[in-house]
Structure 1
Amino acid sequence: MSNPKLTLESVSYVLPDGRTLFSELSEQFDDRPTGLVGRNGIGKSVLARILGGELEPSAGRCVRSGSVHYLSQQAAHAVQTSVAGLAGVQSMLDALQRIEAGSAAAQDFDDVGEHWNMPQRLRQELERNGLGHLQAHTPASTLSGGEAMRVALIGALLSDADFLILDEPSNHLDRPNRLALIAQLQRWQRGLLVVSHDRQLLEGMARIVELSSLGLRSYGGGYSFYAQCKAQERENALQQLDQRKLERKREEQSLRAQRERQERRQARGNRQARDANQASILLGRQKERSQASAGRLRLQQAATREALDARVRDAAQQVEDDAAIVLLALPVSQAAQRRVAELDEVDLPFVPAATRRISLMLTGQQRVGVVGPNGCGKSTLLKLLAGQLQPLAGRCAVHAERAYLDQQLAGLLPQRSTIEQMLAANHTAGEAALRTRLALLDLDAQKATAPSGLLSGGERLKAALACTLYADPPAQLLLFDEPSNHLDLPSVQAVETMLRGYQGALVVVSHDDVFMGSLGLTHRLAATPDGWKLEPW
């Protein structure tokens, strides 16, 4: 379909707890590749689901011209399915098999439509994307997070939709596959909306649309242009607010001087009337006139103050709510100076032969960045160090308190609130102190007490970070698997700052080169065709 469009007409959404997430949003998305950005919890994924037809708005409407394929953040976590199911073509392949077996059911032919060559197309795309070792029936549970996301993306591109909506598609992808995704999206000729915090991916967009406390605002160009415009807008808004406050202060001084002059005139007039021995009736009339004049002045000044306050409020509303994100420094005992973990001729389960065996020793303040392609065993290595997997052979010993944050946030129970889980992990800090730490992560009292499963992807990651990092006793070994996924830029920068100051041992897996480069890592552990290689960072 030529010129596909998605149109928002005064769209609002109210959360189940009664809070308004956003209101009166109006915007049109056309065939220009567009990035949707905004802070965690602002409603990007909800808006993407509304645009994709997955969710109805509380008010207003979304008009779609053409078919839409929506790929959620959680697509790669659908482990109870196959590769074909993850790609969204399982029902089509099943219908083809039934037709080949003699079925004449109309529903089977409807499911296939015009895609009689879908098995061949799926096989070609798997091979073209370096996933030729997978079959349509391969269980999704055996795939790494990166492999699962790549299969889901293949399904999106096979959908032949008029409009693609992708929510954080580069999460879990290694560097080569991030570049391949960017190249794929550059070749896409139809409508495209990408929800992302990936600066490299957003740089290639034709425009950026930001969802903020001020609503939706469109910026032409990629991420760099958007960031430059945002910085200038914020500076201008703050200057305007300062100017309005200064004007109010000066006018207040002028009003005060005006009032004082009137009071002096009234006092002088009263003294003169008394000195002239005027009759009491004349004195009473003069007092009435004086009080009426004072009353008029009070009303005029009140109206002036209200107008000044309104100008300040209007200026303040143009300054986006942009509270800082803070992660407090973590205490580490002196025991962290010793050897913390040893892997001796360990065979890792579920990984290719080239990276199956590893020997590794981690000491006190060693900071290791683990890099390598999807499926090489990076996450498996962290699960082994976390005690969640056992080696096929060899010895694995961890001698320190450890904290592990996995890609799926499995340690965060969706039915329980964040503050409940933090209190269970830390019996000494007290609820008030833990609530303060959540507030510094932009998780207010309402979000802290809501079931964590109702939070946005970025908010859930912050909640999992808080439960992991603020546990008691404090960890001497941090194991982080893609900790920057789903986080907005201020939150990523807060994690970077906290980890730079952490004095214990750190093992982190990430495909974000900028993030890894900011952590002050001491060593790189690389998965290569010749096995694991440890070298200075």
Structure 2
Amino acid sequence: MSQPTFHDPAVIATGLSYAWPDGTPVLDGLDFSVTPGRTGLIGRNGSGKSTLLRLVAGDLTPDAGQVRIRGTLGYLPQRLPLDVELPVDVALGIAGPRRALHAIERGEVTEENYAAVGEQWDVEERAQAELDRLGLGHLGLDRRLAELSGGEAILLGLAGQLLRGPDVLLLDEPTNNLDTGARERLHQAVTEFRGTLVVVSHDRALLDLVDSVAELRDGEVNWFGGNFSAYEEALAVAQEAAHRDVRVAESDLRRQRRELVDTQVKLARRQRYGQKMFDQKREPKIVMGARRRAAEQSAGRLRNEHEEKVRLARERLSEAELAVRDDDEIRVDLPATEVPAGRTVLSLMDLLPRYADPLGPRVDLELRGPERVALVGPNGSGKTTLLRTIVGELGPVAGEVHAPVPIRYLPQRLDLLDEEASVVANAARFAPQATPNALRARLARFLFRGARADQPVGTLSGGERFRAALAALLLAEPAPQLLLLDEPTNNLDLAGVRQLTTALAGYRGALIVVSHDRRFLAELGIDRTVTLGR
């Protein structure tokens, strides 16, 4: 990787426009440039962050505009397109030179093998060093990807990108599925990266490692110097000023309206007096007519003047309101999910899930009433497997699962939704007895209003897709009294995490959540924590 110069932009996007196949615009004429250093790209779900990264990476073709990259490019998407049957060395991109190197060591000294190795005589040592740095030293280069956890797959993808030594590196939600230790190793790798890095993330700790924040909002990019904490402070100051401007503009509009009313009353009073004088004919008709016309012209000017003041006051209020952020929140009341305090909702007795160590500890767990349990543990400890066992997707090797209440499970990959169907059609699958109007009214509370409810799921952003899946589960019939969530904040921006927290505030059943997001768990009101893999 070449040493960057910290002046010229390393990424230049001009006039970028892109729309989904159904015509929904995502970006329209966007100009975006990034200089060397670490940049955090943030924005609400659906604002186009991942789409922008995919356009820069060449994974999508813009409808208009172009992207120029100075140097070599690396890209780690949210969803790694990895074939589970591939070995680790293929995923790292070193299988060719590695095979050629082994062939030469066996005596197959051919021109083709030397060309395949090139300058990479230490390819295995470098690969192993990168794996060690990211906590994957236990992986053999011949191991199959099917044996890796979701977190290990992400770190492996990052290792592959870092081995290529890119000048520009794009990371899209890289801490998804990572446990605490893995997150810390990824944070360290980000800190040590020398070049141009653009990261989309909801991980506050990761965003506090960047040099600048680029916020994509309403189709434009606004830049803030410093890390995410500095961005929040600057935003708080700006929003306080914006709210103050709104209050001033509202006060001015009320004053202008009062003055307009007062003026209209005075003019009406003056008009009545003039009419009275005219009726009494105290002066010559021609004089009184001239006075009436002059009074009407004066009244018209005065009325127009005050109406113009009201219009300008309204415009000032509208401009002030535009600066105030209105990030909608999900607030739902779900009484049908309520569970009495003493009722048993789940019993796990001497449970040995599939893929677990046969000599490892068995799982015994009992949930009563609306308990909220955090299921934690390192990557590969079996958290997702346990959730799938509870809902019956996997049969246990030994032990029993007893759940006498309706259960719903939201997996990491959100694959419970039909990509081709609309949001409202997906919700109808889970609540077939509900009328279309009732479903739309409920979905509106999850921020799918009007035409948004008719949008195909396949065109939604990661956060919108999550919101649609959550709505389908919480509005299901019968209502879930035990809800299982597997890394629910992975696809959410920071506003989305707040929306999820407020949505779950209206959920009255029992909850088991797998998450490495400590702040989210604290805000969720967890009653107890169960740790696997100890």
TM-score (norm 2): 0.88
The yes-or-no answer on 1:399 pairing with 2:394 is: no
Output the CA distance in 2 between the equivalents of 1:501 and 1:411. 22
Output the CA distance in 2 between the equivalents of 1:486 and 1:509. 14
Output the CA distance in 1 between the equivalents of 2:460 and 2:294. 63
Output the CA distance in 2 between the equivalents of 1:339 and 1:304. 66
Deviations 1:384-424 (A, max 9, x none): 11110112334334333211111111212212222111111
Output the CA distance in 2 between the equivalents of 1:439 and 1:80. 42
Change (3 A) 1:489 1:441: farther
For 1:416, the equivalent position in structure 2 comes to 421
Equivalent of residue 378 in structure 1, options 379, 383, 394: 383
For 2:262, the equivalent position in structure 1 comes to 257
Output the CA distance in 1 between the equivalents of 2:496 and 2:155. 26
For 2:67, the equivalent position in structure 1 comes to 62
Change (3 A) 1:305 1:379: same
Change (3 A) 1:352 1:156: farther
Task: Indicate the larger mover: 276-285 or 462-471.
Answer: 276-285
Q: CA deviation at 1:99?
A: 9.3
Output the CA distance in 2 between the equivalents of 1:57 and 1:305. 44
For 1:316, the equivalent position in structure 2 comes to 321
Equivalent of residue 194 in structure 2, options 189, 193, 198: 189
For 2:519, the equivalent position in structure 1 comes to 514
Report matched runs for 1:337-352 at 5 Å: 337-352=342-357
What one-letter code is carried by the residue in structure 1 that aligns with 2:457?
A: S
Change (3 A) 1:528 1:80: closer
Change (3 A) 1:105 1:278: farther
Change (3 A) 1:365 1:262: closer
Report matched runs for 1:100-499 at 5 Å: 114-115=119-120, 117-213=122-218, 215-276=220-281, 278=283, 280-329=285-334, 331-332=336-337, 337-352=342-357, 355=360, 357-499=362-504
Output the CA distance in 2 between the equivalents of 1:85 and 1:302. 72
Deviations 1:326-368 (A, max 9, x none): 2433533657844333434433223445647434444444432
For 2:13, the equivalent position in structure 1 comes to 8
Output the CA distance in 2 between the equivalents of 1:317 and 1:373. 44
CA contact (8 A) 2:352 2:358 kept: no
What one-letter code is carried by the residue in structure 2 that aligns with 1:142?
A: E
The yes-or-no answer on 1:83 pairing with 2:88 is: yes
Q: CA deviation at 1:510?
A: 0.9
Output the CA distance in 2 between the equivalents of 1:248 and 1:335. 52
Q: CA deviation at 1:15?
A: 3.6
Output the CA distance in 2 between the equivalents of 1:95 and 1:289. 100
Deviations 1:409-443 (A, max 9, x none): 12122122221111111134433333233333333
Output the CA distance in 2 between the equivalents of 1:70 and 1:45. 11
Output the CA distance in 2 between the equivalents of 1:76 and 1:53. 15
What one-letter code is carried by the residue in structure 2 that aligns with 1:457?
A: G
Identity rate of aligned residues, in percent?
36
Output the CA distance in 2 between the equivalents of 1:507 and 1:127. 33
**Unpaired segments ≥5 residues, structure 2:** none
Deviations 1:432-473 (A, max 9, x none): 333233333333333322221211111111111111222111
Change (3 A) 1:343 1:270: closer
Deviations 1:471-530 (A, max 9, x none): 11122222111112122233323433454564433222111112222333333221244x
Change (3 A) 1:343 1:304: closer
Output the CA distance in 1 between the equivalents of 2:471 and 2:87. 34
Task: Indicate the larger mover: 375-384 or 290-299.
Answer: 290-299
Output the CA distance in 1 between the equivalents of 2:96 and 2:309. 69
Output the CA distance in 1 between the equivalents of 2:102 and 2:274. 104
SS in structure 2 at match of 1:17? coil
Change (3 A) 1:303 1:524: closer
Task: Indicate the larger mover: 380-389 or 246-255.
Answer: 246-255
SS in structure 2 at match of 1:74? coil
What one-letter code is carried by the residue in structure 2 that aligns with 1:16?
A: P
The yes-or-no answer on 1:53 pairing with 2:55 is: no
CA contact (8 A) 1:447 1:455 kept: no
Q: CA deviation at 1:12?
A: 3.9
Change (3 A) 1:269 1:367: closer
Output the CA distance in 1 between the equivalents of 2:369 and 2:275. 84
Q: CA deviation at 1:105?
A: 7.0
Change (3 A) 1:314 1:518: closer
Q: CA deviation at 1:382?
A: 0.8
Output the CA distance in 2 between the equivalents of 1:497 and 1:262. 53
Change (3 A) 1:274 1:448: closer
For 1:39, the equivalent position in structure 2 comes to 44
Output the CA distance in 2 between the equivalents of 1:278 and 1:70. 90
Change (3 A) 1:98 1:40: farther
**Count of aligned residue pairs for this structure pair:** 527
Q: CA deviation at 1:276?
A: 4.0
What one-letter code is carried by the residue in structure 2 that aligns with 1:166?
A: L
TM-score (norm 1): 0.87
What one-letter code is carried by the residue in structure 1 that aligns with 2:320?
A: A
Change (3 A) 1:113 1:195: farther
CA contact (8 A) 2:46 2:461 kept: yes
Task: Indicate the larger mover: 50-59 or 160-169.
Answer: 50-59
Q: CA deviation at 1:46?
A: 1.2
Change (3 A) 1:85 1:350: farther
SS in structure 2 at match of 1:246? helix
SS in structure 2 at match of 1:75? coil
Task: Indicate the larger mover: 507-516 or 212-221.
Answer: 212-221
Q: CA deviation at 1:68?
A: 1.8
Q: CA deviation at 1:163?
A: 0.9
Change (3 A) 1:394 1:418: same
Deviations 1:226-254 (A, max 9, x none): 11221221121121122112112212222
Task: Indicate the larger mover: 81-90 or 228-237.
Answer: 81-90
Change (3 A) 1:314 1:32: same
**Unpaired segments ≥5 residues, structure 1:** 530-537
Q: CA deviation at 1:297?
A: 3.7
For 2:34, the equivalent position in structure 1 comes to 29
SS in structure 2 at match of 1:268? helix
- Over the residues paired in the alignment, what is the CA RMSD in angstroms? 3.1
